[in-house]
Amino acid sequence: MYHPSEMFPHFGGSFALRPAAHGGLSAGFPQGQAAQYEAFRCPDLDGVSAAKFEPFCPPLDRAGRLLGPSPAGPPLPLPAPPLPYGGGQQLPPAEPPRLPPSVRMSLENRELWKRFCAVGTEMIITKSGRRMFPQLKVSVAGLDPEAKYLLLVDMVPAGASRYKWQGRHWEASGKAELPPPDRVYIHPDSPASGAHWMRQPVSFHRLKLTNNTLDPHGHLILHSMHRYQPRVHVVGAGGPGGRGGGCASFTFPETAFLTVTAYQSPKITQMKIESNPFAKGFRENGMNSKRERDARIKRKMRGDVAEPTRNEADCKRGPCDSTQGPPPEPPAPPDCSFHPISSSYPPGGNEELGCPLGGVNPSAEAYVQHPAAFHGLQPPQGPAGYASSPCAAPEAAAAPKPVGDPGCPPAKPLPDQSNCRTTSAPPLTYPPYGLDVGCLLGAGLDGPPAPELRFPPFLPCPAPRLYAPPGPPAGYLEGGNKGLF
DNA sequence: TCTACTGACACCTTTGAAACGC
DNA sequence: AGCGTTTCAAAGGTGTCAGTAG
């Protein structure tokens, strides 16, 4: 949860970046097949995001030039695109190098996320920091086993509205606040080898969210009653011969959530209690259930001696089982899955770039040595007060409008959770889920004019079609994706 | 009055050190 | 001595609720 530029002031504020190339989603996914992809690999990095990860991307030099290819570099996994500019030759402002398209990521606990998503995920944020539940847990594949990588998470504002719970549903309620200090959560294992990341699922369970803009602990700072989309980044930190450089980022639409200081939807509360092992005490049979709490209050009022807690009772019967894992997830709704992700990016041209610290990115090195030095910095502000990232300014395409206006469809009843796949949502009558998500995918800058849509911030499970609107123009996907990577 | 937020609370899991056995 | 397992207590993650601020 640190801002790299804070740690590496010598890198300066940001690099000039080449304007995001057109292509967007189509550059990342074969047209017509995108719906199959589970994770969304963002093809281009917008200026702000790029600056955030700049220190992790050794291939860029300060002048925005690509360094020349290393003759000793190992072969690229895929044919490298021609390098029109030789080493040292001036380039248009460079975009960060990308990891090869073979790098893939999937969401491990996707079914759990989908169940929350179907109701409208809420995340508690507190001054001292609160963990996410469900937690972000991903599997990575396609990395160079020997090269070093960092895994990072940041949060992208979704929509530019603030939201309000209206008893049964969420509604947009005014403009979003100015973005909080921009921070990145760095997985504590970072930097680690590709083999390490690929060995087992990577969990970001230690990630904490806070609404304290002065937070000194490095938690991710968010505004309450706003909607966010987590984004996972793989950043090459170099390896033997400089392999592994480059960046790739992934979003999982079902992980979008609304921040709250207290749960609004009772359904979410119940689901959290049922799913989160830490909330076990609040389950029906728990000692912190409503029934037990009421009984406790009565006893207290009567002045009774406290009965032994369940913990004590259990421990008398035998060892407290604190080692067992979380309870098994309830059966997942069928047919909610996307197909495994693939990605199709031009090879990043990573290994032609030198690696300053013996194969390890200096930023990674510095993080290991001075983790406390990472703290958030306010990113450059865009004209609207938002960071000038397409991700951060998606309002045009995706901002949910207040529900209840004439012409606004009533809140859609929750879908049958046994089948999250939506096939019959009338276009534009009820918003394509993707539109809201689409903003996260970068819609808004170069996409088509945003249709005037009104819909609540939460919709049932993201419909697969949101990834691949049928044919052109589909601009909000095509052009929109360029904002993220 | 309403809404959002805060802090205390009880219950629970996780974690890591100490104790123990082989 | 070294290693693996068990035990135990502290730390910290939960939702709830009453109180507070605006």
Q: State pLDDT tens for residues A16-73.
A: 222 222 322 222 222 333 323 345 555 444 455 555 655 554 433 222 222 223 333 3
Give the residue nearest to nucleotide C6 (CA to C1'): A319
CA of A164 to C1' of B2 (A): 13
- Closest residue to B10 measured CA to C1′: A288
Please state, in angstroms and rounded to a whole number, the distance separating the CA atoms of residues A349 and A246: 8
0.75 exceeded by pTM: no
Summarize the confidence of residues A177-190 as an average pLDDT: 89
The mean per-residue pLDDT over the stretch A137-150 comes to: 93
CB of residue A123 closer than 7 A to nucleic acid strand C? Answer: no
Q: Which nucleotides of C are covered by protein (CB under 7 A)?
A: 6-10, 12-18
Q: What is the pLDDT of residue A26?
A: 29
Q: Which residue is nearest to nucleotide C14 (CA to C1')?
A: A279
Which residues 179-238 of A interface with strand B at a CB distance below 7 A? 211-212, 224-225
Rounded, the Å distance between the CA of A319 and C1' of B18 is 16
Reduced 3-state DSSP string for chain A: CCCHHHHCHHHCCCCCCCCCCCCHHHHHCCCCCHHHECCEEECCECHHHHHHHHHHCCCECCCCCECCCCCCCCCCCCCCCCCCCCCCCCCCCCCCCECCCCCEEEECCHHHHHHHHHHCCEEECECCCEECCCCCEEEEECCCCCCEEEEEEEEEECCCEEEEECCCCEEEEEECCCCCCECCEECCCCCEEHHHHHHCCEECCCCEEECCCCCCCCCEECCCCCEEEEEEEEEEEECHHHCCCEEEEEECHHHCEEEECCCCCHHHHHHHHHHCHHHHHHCCCCCCCHHHHHHHHHHHHHCCCCCCCHHHHHHHHCCCCCCCCCCCCCCCCCCCCCECCCCCCCCCCCCCCCCCECCECHHHHHHHHCHHHCCCECCCECCCCCECCCCCCCHHHHCCCCCCCCCCCCCCCCCCCCCCCCCCCCECCECCHHHHHHHHCCCCCCCCCCCCCCCCCCCCCCCHHHHCCCCCCCHHHHCHHHHEC
Can you give the pLDDT at residue A281? 87
The residue ranking higher by pLDDT, A186 or A350, is A186
Work out the pLDDT band at A180, boundaries 50, 70, 90: confident
pLDDT above 80 for A245 = no
Any residues with CB less than 8 A from the CB of A49 and at least 6 apart, and which?
Answer: A154, A249, A389, A391, A483, A484, A485
Query: What residues form DSSP beta bridges with A170?
Result: A165
Percentage of residues in chain A having pLDDT higher than 70: 40
Q: How far is CA A37 from the centre of its chain?
A: 16
Lowest mean pLDDT among A167-181, A208-222, A422-436, A451-465: A422-436
Distance CA A209, CA A258 (A): 12
pLDDT band of A457, cuts 50, 70, 90:
low
Question: In the predicted model, is pLDDT for residue A380 greater than 80?
Answer: no
- Amino acid A110: pLDDT: 92
**Percentage of chain A exceeding pLDDT 90:** 28
Which residue did the predictor score with more confidence, A95 or A395? A95
pLDDT at A246: 86
* β-pairing verdict for A257-260 and A227-238: antiparallel
The pLDDT of residue A235 is 93
pLDDT of residue A237: 83
- Range A74-83 average pLDDT: 30
In tens, the pLDDT along A120-143 reads 999 999 999 999 999 999 999 999
The answer to whether the beta carbon of residue A323 comes closer than 7 angstroms to any atom of strand B is yes
> How much is the pLDDT for A53?
57
Question: Which of the two residues, A456 and A217, has the higher pLDDT score?
Answer: A217
pLDDT for A264 equals: 95
pLDDT digits (tens, 9 = 90+) for A95-104: 667 888 899 9
Q: Measure, in angstroms, how far nucleotide B16 C1' is from residue A347 CA.
A: 44
What mean pLDDT is reported for chain A?
56
Q: In the predicted model, what is the mean pLDDT of residues A409-428?
A: 26
Whether the CB of A217 is less than 7 Å away from nucleic strand C comes out as no
pLDDT of residue A131: 96
Q: Taking 80 as the threshold, does the pLDDT of residue A274 lie above it?
A: yes
Give the model's pLDDT for residue A96: 64
CA A140 to C1' C7, in angstroms, rounded, equals 37
Distance A323 CA to B21 C1' (A): 21
Output Rg (C-alpha) for chain A, integer angstroms.
23
pLDDT at A1 over 90: no
Q: Pick the most confident of A2-6, A41-45, A262-266.
A: A262-266
CB proximity A296–strand B (7 Å threshold): yes
Q: What is the pLDDT of residues A293-315, one digit of tens each?
A: 777 767 666 655 434 333 333 33
Binned at pLDDT 50, 70 and 90, residue A474 comes out as very low
Task: Tell if A273 CB is < 7 Å from nucleic strand B.
Answer: no
pLDDT band at A292 (very low <50, low <70, confident <90, very high): confident
Nucleotides of B strand lying within 7 Å of any protein CB atom:
3-7, 10-16
**Strand nucleotide closest to residue A321 (CA to C1'):** B13
What pLDDT score does A159 carry? 84
CA of A198, C1' of B20: distance in angstroms:
37
- Nucleic acid strand B within 7 Å of A274 CB: no
- By C1' distance from the Cα of A297, the closest nucleotide is B10
Q: CA-to-C1' distance for A463 and C6, Å?
A: 49
pLDDT attached to residue A395: 32
Which positions 122-161 on chain A have a beta carbon less than 7 angstroms from any atom of strand B?
Answer: 126-128
Distance in Å from B14's C1' to A448's CA comes to 50
pLDDT of the residue at A423: 23
Per-residue flag: A292 CB under 7 A of strand B: yes
Cβ-count burial A110-140 (b if 16+ within 10 Å, e if not) = bbbbbbbbbbbbbbbbeeebbbbbbbbbbeb
pLDDT, greater one: A178 or A328: A178
Mean pLDDT across the stretch A245-252?
Answer: 90
pLDDT confidence band for A270 (50 / 70 / 90):
very high
